[in-house]
Structures are given as structure tokens and as C-alpha cells.
A and B are shown apart, each in its own frame.
Chain A
Amino acid sequence: MTAAAEQGGRGAATARDVGRALRSAESLNAVLHWSQELLDAEGARVDAMAAPGSLAGMPIAVKDNIVTVEQPTTCASRILEGYVSPYTATAVNRLRDAGAIVAAKTNLDEFAMGSSTEHSAWGRVKHPLDPDRVPGGSSGGSAALVAAGVVPAALGSETGGSVRQPASFCGVVGVKPSYGRVSRYGLVAFGSSLDAISVFGRTVDHASRVLAAMSGPDPLDATTVDRPPMRVPEPLPDLRGLRIGLPQEYFPDDLHPGVAAAMERVKDRIRELGAELREVSLPHSAYAVPTYYIVAPAEAAANLARYDGVRYGPRKVGPEGDFRAVYRATRGEGFGPEVRRRILVGTYVLSAGYYDAYYTKAQQARALIADDFRRGFDSGLDFLLTPTTPTPAFRAGEKTEDPVAMYLADIFVCAVNLSGLPALSLPVGRSEGLPVGAQLIAPFFGEERLLAAAATLERVIAADAEVR
């Protein structure tokens, strides 16, 4: 039997199964675009492939801020309503070449700005375990689909924790690669120096395989790093010889008790596997959130300037009738309140007279935050272990009126983006039925060891078990 025949019809069958699962998960509002027709075409395409790749037949959902020619790409924003990209993102092309089936485009916080997937122009995404709660964000749609078992893996994007945080809330694996490991070509830019296409997986292995397939330099993205693609690592027999740092700033006294208990259990398992745990300090991580909320909006303000109604997207004409009126009306009506807030902040921190006080200061803080990590790894640490989030998933509406409270949901994940490091969130237990995630952070381009260690840990942790 030829390889193709051996695989025959698997894609088509998967396409039908995924279609059924998508229909039954409709109430989550996790999906913005999908059709059975496109799914079937994807299945047929994979079945027709001469050599089944490393992802042969794996259905993968894609966050709707990653462009694909088959479906619209809206970033959950009215300003891109109906927009269809004439080209496909490098990462998606690579997954399809490896045999993956693009299953659906998933809901998100508008332009990936948010931590709960409540800021979508097409309504909030519901947590698969509790519809009154949020799945986290901004990649909440992708997280929810993986958690609901609709797809084994999904693409999200991170600017400040937008995959690890929802992975933690939803009880799935979330991996953010090193900056420059995966091409950003085709990822709609939010904060370009922070943005990273990232992965959700039902297991570490799913996430590893997807990440490996799309990693590697891309001539279309000048910020990709010229190193060979990642390989899928084998789990280790144990964690002997590894030194794992526990940054004290990430274990505050007021940490949610369920999260604290889950972390204690993880530490026990790590010790049992033979690794050494060591308390360390990352003093500048305290500035991560404020630093992030200067750098990211500054870049966003410029990145979102292109949505002006001139070349694509719905164009609104203001009463004055001149082109400035087009800008005002198109952007005023097209962007939601959170996006407008960040554009205003970003414009402000870059404006003459404020640049040094904000942007320059933030860049200095960013360098100090990254230095903390470098020092830690230089001192012999292999990884850092922290909780991914301060609490399990919160209730919908709980933080929408208080942007700062919302921003603090990312307090443990932001510093990693500012430093460009790879990190992941691993489900490590449940608190009152809600998943809790632990974060492992690795040195730059240390993904293979990071994923190997996570896979090892994954085998000994009962992620679905209550911790107290």
C-alpha cells in the first residue's frame, strides 16, 4: 500500500468529525468563520497529498488575526468586517504543507487586545466548563475549542500572554516560542516587537508538533532568527540534574489559594522527578505590566494606523466629506473602546515632550526585565517555574469596567514577552472545578528542552484532579 492510500480518506473523515464538533460547540461563540465546504476541501487536499507530513490530518483552528485566503480575517473588529486577505500567513502555509487541516478561524479580543475575549465585535467567548466565566484572552476562541475537544491544537498569538493565560484558564497546554522562532508574516500586527504566533495543544506533544512544523526562518520576516527549525523532543525519563528557579515575585502572599495549592503539588512532583528547586528573584518583573502597557500601545498605535478605509475594510464618510472625515468616521466607528483606548495611550506616549518620560523609560525597564532573566539562566538555572495566572478563570463582566484589573490578569505572563523568551503553560490541577496552569520559562531558543521537560511533567500530573 502506498503512503497516500494508507492515509486514504482520513482527511475527509476528520473534516466531517470536526464539522460535527464545531456545530455542537456553537454555543461557546469560539468561532468566527468556518464552513463544512471548506473543511471538506481541506480534508480532500490532505488526502491527495503524496507524502503525509508530520501533521497528516490534524485539524487545527486558527485565531482570526492570522491571515488565510480561504476565510475572512477580521481580528474580531468591525473595521475589518468582510476582509479577505489575498495571501496566507507563512505559519499557516507551513502547517498545511505538513498535512494539517485548517478547521476554523477563531474569536478573539479585538486586534488581540484583551485578557478575556470579551472585547470582540461579535460577542464574548464562553468558558467550556462554565458559560458564565471567560476563557481568558485574547486567544480565547482557540483555547476554548481545544479545551472543548473540537480540535487537538490551535494557533493563537501572544503579545502579552494571550496564549498562556487562556491556556491556563481553559486547562490546555499553551506554548509561546522565542521571539523570531516563528514567522510573523501574516499575523496581523499588534505590538510587533512582542507579537508571536503561539500554540494551544491538548497535550504537550500536540503543541510541540505544531510548533516544530511552523518554526524556522522566513525570508518574509526580517525578525525571524536564522536557526534551524525546532524538532519535536522526546519526553525525558526524569528531571534529574535540572535546576528550576522559583522567582519569589511570582508567588505573592495574596496568590489565589487554589493556584497556590496547585503550585505546591507541581513542586512536589518536580522534586520527585529529581530536579532541584531554587528560590530566585526577578526584581524588575514588578514593572512588567506598566512597561508592557507603554510598549505595546505605542507599537499598536502605529500598526493600526493603516485601517483608514482607503484601501480595504468598510469606509465611512463623515459629514465634512473630506479625507480627514473619512478617517474620523471609519476609525471612530470601526474600532471598539479597548482598541481606541490603546491607540490613544500609544499616541500619547510617543508624542513630542512625552517620548522620553514614557517610551524611552519603558525601553530601559524592558532591558532590566530581560536582564533579570538572563542573569537567572546564566547562574545555572534551566527553567523558571511560576503560576501562569494569579487566579483561575474569572466571571464574565467582572473586569470589563476596570481596565487596570483586567491588565493585571497578565501580571505573570507579560515579562516573558518583553524578554522574547519561550514559555509555556501546563495544566496542573483544578480549583473548584476550574483549571489551574503552571508556567515554565526557558532561555532564548530553549524550546526543545522546555517541551521535553513539560512532557515529562505532564505524565505525572493529574491535570483534571482537584487540588484542595
Chain B
Amino acid sequence: MAWETVIGLEVHVQLRTRTKMFCACRTSFGDPPNSNVCPVCLGLPGALPVPNAEAIRLAARAAMALGCTVHETSVFARKNYFYPDLPKGYQISQFDRPLATGGSVAFESPERGRVEVGITRLHVEEDAGKLLHDRFPAKTAVDLNRAGIPLAEIVSEPDLRSPAEARAYLTTLRQILVYAGVSECSMEQGSLRVDANLSIRRAGDTRLGTKTEVKNMNSFANVERALEAERARQAALVEAGERVHQVTLLFNAGTGQLKPIRSKQESHDYRYFPDPDLPPLVLAPGWIAEQRAALPELPDARRSRLERSFGIPAYDARVITSEAPLAGYFEAVVAAGVEPKTAANWVMGDVMTSFNEAGSFPVPAARLAALVGLVRDGVVSHQAAKRVYGEMAQLSDGDPRAVAERLGLVQVSDQGALAGWVDEVLSAHPAEVARFRGGETKLMGFFVGQVMKRSQGKADPKGVQPVLQTRLK
């Protein structure tokens, strides 16, 4: 039986603000429990929320980056439910009038080529706190540092057709949001969370099957794993003649198992209504236009621009634009005079490795350009340049020529020195000399290699060949 999988994702990202959504508490990660709290985020009697303008700005920016329409008027609403991590007994969110609606994200599907996923809506809300079950024996503790952290919830249309596609969408979504500078999007630090809705149907059906919700996935890889497991579970059910029930499932990354937490029949009626403590959020058209104008170039646009203006291969452009700083570095290297493809090779090689390790660029773009210049001018070989780069990265600076000299990697083109190495090689290989002289001219490569080896890579290969030619006459 061929089943089509239908997936929609709800992604919560923490907006990159210094303070919380409705109070002045800090948003820093990893502080001692309940150290970043105040009357507002503790829900003390009489305290009132005041919206964080920076959070609104970042959310609007995120919405624009996803091609959404940002509404001039949106409304904060109370989502009512009881839970010990929810101080007010309601979460301030947005309901029937969200900040933004109707966007899309285009990405490369591993199965279907370029795919566009609809973004239903993006709204702003506050996070809840955290229950700690392992802190005290037989007791649950509540940490409210996270309570009131600003979030944007991004809801996709059910346009995804496989777990792998869901993962690819997430990768692109994350890239866009990081580019836009709205969120760190770190799943480890809880600044990006994914809930997934999945259903299956017979290939060709247009009606949606009963969906289940999957939660508690702590990496993109685990999103894919969890959805694979859920797809298989649903298919097995249906093939056994049973029905899929609407449930919420928690994924256990250790066991790879899904465990239901509650069925939708006993689900909450959240009794949403407009929050009377917060006037409707009104954004002036001029402000919205300003924010749009301030939006940085997004990955897709940058990719095609790099391809177009620098003539680098599509693959290179994709790798280089995967992270905005990498692309910025690439452009700086090119601007410093390096031929684009050469710059791309460097960025995709040693630069990317050191960036991934350090999270920054240990060798400034101008220094790298100078190093590439040394290769071009025959001062160092390409191999030697990689060693010079490594040394420069260690020093986190250093003039490439000075480093090359200190490491003894400057190429030697002095005729006398070259002739010395050539003579040594020729006298060590009389048989090959005879064969060469007998017409086996392809042995030239062998001799060059031997000279390079004997000179420990310092001989200038361009200078070696004429000397060999003369001596082998």
C-alpha cells in the first residue's frame, strides 16, 4: 500500500531580546533557577504586562523574512489553562488576530526538488516556566526564569510530504531566521522548539487523515526520526484495519519510542479572549515599511547573487550562504582581490572548518587574501599555504609572508639552489635519467616530484622544470 505522509510544523523560536516579553527581566540562559523573575512574570497580584517593543520588532522582521503580511492591528489574547509552570493561569498569546499571516518558505526537498511550504501565521507569545523533577526527591520544583521569554510561533501549512522533507524545511527556516537576526535558533538552549502534526492518506487522496501531534524532539535529526516512527506507527495501524486516534505523543530520543500524553477528547478548551491588560497592537504602515527596508538579504537571494555576480558554481554558493557570516567572509575575500572560485575553495575548506570550530574567523579576510596572493605570485605553494593558514589561525593574526618565512615555506626559485637539488635527484636516479633520455619524456613529472620532496616543498615547481630540462639535455 502506498501511503502519502502529510506533515505540518509548529515552530517556536525565542526572539533575541535582552529582556522578557512583558517585563524587564533578563532572558539569559543557564542562570540559577528563579533568578530572573519579577512581579510581572511571577504573576503576582496586581502586576501588569507591558509589551517589549524590541520583541515586536524582531517578530515583525521574522514575519517579513518568511514573506508574511504583517498586520497593522493584531491582538494579544489570553490562553487559559492550569499548569504549575504557568504563573498567571493563562499564557499571553495571539489568537484570532495574529501579528502576521500568509507567507511561504522555499527549500530544496530531498525527494521533490524545490518545494514551497505555506506559512499559515506567525504570532507573538510568552513562554511558560519549567518543571524540574530531578531536583528534590519526590517533589517537583518550578523554575520561572523562562516564564515570559518572548517567542514567535510559526505555523506551517500541511505541505510537507516526508520526515526528511520536514527536516530540510526546518534547516531552511532556521537559516532564514538566523539571517534575519531574530533568533539564535538553538535547540540545545531551547530557543527553537518543534511540534509536528502528521497524518497519512492513500496516495492520490485529497482528504486529510486523522492527525497526531508529536512533541519533545530535541534536534532536527530527531524530528526526522520521530516522524519516521510516527509514520510507520500510523501505517501499521491502518494496514491492520484500525483507526488512527487524535493524540499527542512524546518522542523519547533514547529509545526512539513515541508515548501518548493525552487524547484530544479530554483536550483543553483554552477559552481564548482578548487580553484586557494590553491594548490592540497597532503598527504604523510607515514603521512596517521601515522594518521591511531594514531586512537583510536572505539566504536565497544571496545565493543567487553570489552565483550571478561571481560566477561560482551553484553548489559552492549554497555551501557558502548556509551561514550569513561565511558568505560575508567570502565576499570580503573577493573584495580584497582574490579570484572568486579560489576564494570559494578556501571558504569551503579551511575557513569553514575553523569557523565551525571557533564560531568566528581566526584569520581576517584581508590576511587570507594576502596569503592567496603569495600562492599566485609563486612565493609559497598551495600546500605550504594551507600550513601557513593553520599557523595564522593559531596566532589569530600574523602576516602571511612572515609566517611562511618563519616556517621556512617560502619557495626557492634561486637557480643555484634549484640546480643543486636537481643534480642530487639526477645522480640518485641514473636509470630514470637514461630512460628519459631514451624518449620517455613523461618521467618529467617524476623528477619534479622528487625535487619537491628533496627541497621539502620549498622549490618553486615553475622554476624546477627549466633547470631539469637543461640538465637532461
A residues within 8 Å of B by Cβ? 66-67, 73, 75, 80, 83, 85-87, 89, 184-189, 191-193, 219-223, 298-299, 301-302, 304-306, 308, 310-312, 323-324, 327, 347, 350-352, 355, 359
Contacts and interface: CB of A to CB of B under 8 A. Distances in A.
Given A85-B46, A86-B39, A220-B50, A308 B90 contact: no
B276 A323 contact: no
Interface stretch (B79-87, B248-256, B316-324): B79-87
Contacts of B335: none
A188 B276 contact: no
A417 B410 CA distance: 86
A305 B90 contact: yes
Nearest to B22: A222
Nearest to A221: B48
Given A301-B271, A302-B90, 17 more contacts: A83-B45, A85-B46, A86-B39, A187-B46, A189-B46, A191-B276, A302-B271, A308-B82, A308-B84, A310-B87, A311-B44, A311-B87, A311-B142, A324-B82, A347-B271, A351-B269, A352-B271
Query: Which 6 interchain pairs have the tightest Cβ spacing?
Result: A305-B89, A193-B276, A192-B276, A350-B271, A186-B46, A188-B45
Interface in B46-100: 46-51, 78, 80, 82, 84, 87-90
A185 B44 CA distance: 11
Contact of B48 (A66, A83, A220, A352): A220
A223 B271 contact: no
A323 B84 contact: yes
A258 to B, nearest CB: 37
B44 A66 contact: no
Given A186-B46, A312-B44, A306 B269 contact: no
Given A87-B39, A350-B273, A310 B84 contact: yes
B269 A298 contact: no
A66 B45 CA distance: 9
Contacts of A310: 84, 87, 142
A192 B89 contact: no
A73 B39 CA distance: 14
A324 to B, nearest CB: 8
Nearest to B275: A192
B392 interface: no
Contacts of B82: 305, 308, 324, 327
Contacts of A302: 78, 80, 88-90, 271, 273
Contact of A85 (B43, B44, B269, B271): B44
Contact of B80 (A87, A192, A305): A305
A306 B88 CA distance: 4
B277 interface: yes
Nearest to B79: A302
Nearest to B37: A311
10 contacts: A73-B45, A85-B39, A85-B44, A86-B44, A185-B47, A189-B46, A220-B50, A223-B279, A327-B82, A352-B269
Contacts of A223: 48, 276-279
A364 to B, nearest CB: 14
A185 B89 contact: no
Contacts of B39: 85-87
A222 B277 contact: yes
Q: Report which residue of B78, B140, B271 has the largest number of chain A beta carbons within 10 angstroms of its beta carbon.
A: B271
Contact of A311 (B43, B50, B78): B43
Contact of A298 (B46, B49, B273): B273
Interface string B176-211: 000000000000000000000000000000000000
A89 B45 CA distance: 10
A336 B47 CA distance: 23
B50 A359 contact: no
Contacts of A189: 45-46, 48, 277
B51 A222 contact: yes
A67 B46 contact: yes
Contacts of B276: 191-193, 223, 299
B42 interface: yes
Contacts of A299: 276
Contact of A185 (B48, B269, B271): B48
A191 B277 CA distance: 10
Interface in B117-159: 140, 142
Contact of A305 (B50, B88, B140, B278): B88
B70 to A, nearest CB: 20
A85 B48 CA distance: 14
Interface in B212-247: none
Nearest to B82: A327
A302 B78 CA distance: 8
Interface string B97-126: 000000000000000000000000000000
B358 to A, nearest CB: 42
Contacts of B44: 85-87, 311-312
Contacts of B43: 306, 311
